[in-house]
């Protein structure tokens, strides 16, 4: 499923002014997102990763996911943090069995997909055939009418170009950024009140100094550093504690913040017994007005 997802994300990164200068870009290497040694060696993505780019005052969170079926669990977890998906398909090969697996998950969550026909610079590219095949796949998977009416963008991740027609690419990725903003809905938010905090933990990372850190998207409410919080599940006792450092994703790294509200993807320290599938809720006034936990993720 070597259809170039990571190379495509790299092109988006380079063109959003993440790097100060060419020297910094060169240091990051070819595939910026595949930062683990195993990934660089094999040229594949194993762990899902987050980054955020600013575009005309709008923050776009991007999550790069693995394409191999063995790492499908990473994809499922990440979908809980997304509002829509970019389905990247090779301009010659078309959809593969794994494409089916991950698309099925996204459609069942009711997400809209934006189809990117990548590697359009290949001499044997056959974009019309590929788009027809993708359409057939959507129909087979029982997509809704709205989902089947997908936008298509043609791109070459290597050249860093994209366009709305296969034979008419712009000089940069602008058409792809525009398509993302136009065809994927922004987060739906019911409340940003502190008591309404609901935040489902979808991933965990370890830090040598801060210990176990959770990555999650805030569904409702808001959270601040050093707040009294609890980790809850529908069927288990609450685990209470205080949030330590709070970060949001910023370009390729994280930025420490005092508070964050619904729609943001956060990373936090200070709760050593955090597990994937827990919901972060408030525990102020002993959690008297806390929200209910969200349904946990099956990993």
Look at residue 128 in the predicted model and tell me its pLDDT.
93
Across the chain, which distance is largest between two alpha carbons, in Å? 65
Mean pLDDT within 189-198: 83
Structure tokens at 138: 């959507």
d(CA 145, CA 152) in angstroms, rounded, equals 16
* Res. 171: pLDDT tops 80: yes
Lowest-confidence segment of 16-20, 75-79, 102-106, 175-179 by average pLDDT: 16-20
> Above pLDDT 70, what percent of the chain?
79
Look at residue 135 in the predicted model and tell me its pLDDT.
93
* Res. 1: pLDDT tops 80: no
* Res. 15: pLDDT tops 80: no
d(CA 158, CA 153) in angstroms, rounded, equals 15
**pTM of the shown model:** 0.72
Q: How far is CA 94 from the centre of its chain?
A: 22
CA distances from 54 to 16, 34, 260 (A): 7, 21, 17
pLDDT tens digits for range 17-70: 554 445 545 544 444 445 455 544 444 444 456 677 777 778 888 776 665 555
Lowest-confidence segment of 61-75, 173-187, 189-203 by average pLDDT: 61-75
Mean pLDDT within 124-135: 92
d(CA 189, CA 221) in angstroms, rounded, equals 8
């Amino acid at each position: 499923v070597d259809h170039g997802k990571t190379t495509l994300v790299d092109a988006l990164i380079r063109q959003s002014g993440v790097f100060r200068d060419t020297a910094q870009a060169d240091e990051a290497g070819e595939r910026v997102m595949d930062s683990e040694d195993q990934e660089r060696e094999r040229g594949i993505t194993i762990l899902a990763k987050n980054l955020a780019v600013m575009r005309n005052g709008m923050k776009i969170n991007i999550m790069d996911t693995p394409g191999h079926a063995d790492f499908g669990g990473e994809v499922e977890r990440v979908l809980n943090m997304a509002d829509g998906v970019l389905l990247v398909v090779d301009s010659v090969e078309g959809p593969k069995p794994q494409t089916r697996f991950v698309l099925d998950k996204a459609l069942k969550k009711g997400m809209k997909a934006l189809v990117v026909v990548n590697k359009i610079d290949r001499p044997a590219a056959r974009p019309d055939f590929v788009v027809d095949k993708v359409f057939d796949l959507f129909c087979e998977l029982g997509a809704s009418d709205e989902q089947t009416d997908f936008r298509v963008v043609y791109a070459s991740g290597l050249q860093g170009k994209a366009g709305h027609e296969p034979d008419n690419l712009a000089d940069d990725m602008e058409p792809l950024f525009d398509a993302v903003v136009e065809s994927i809905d922004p987060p739906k938010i019911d409340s940003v009140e502190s008591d309404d905090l609901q935040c489902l933990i979808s991933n965990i990372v370890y830090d040598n100094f801060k210990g176990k850190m959770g990555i999650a998207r805030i569904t409702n409410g808001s959270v601040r550093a050093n707040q009294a919080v609890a980790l809850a599940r529908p069927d288990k006792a609450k685990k209470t504690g205080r949030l330590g450092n709070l970060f949001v994703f910023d370009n390729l790294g994280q930025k420490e913040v005092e508070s964050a509200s619904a729609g943001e993807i956060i990373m936090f320290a200070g709760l050593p017994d955090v597990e994937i599938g827990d919901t972060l809720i408030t525990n102020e006034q002993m959690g008297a007005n806390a929200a209910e936990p969200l349904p946990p993720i099956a990993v």
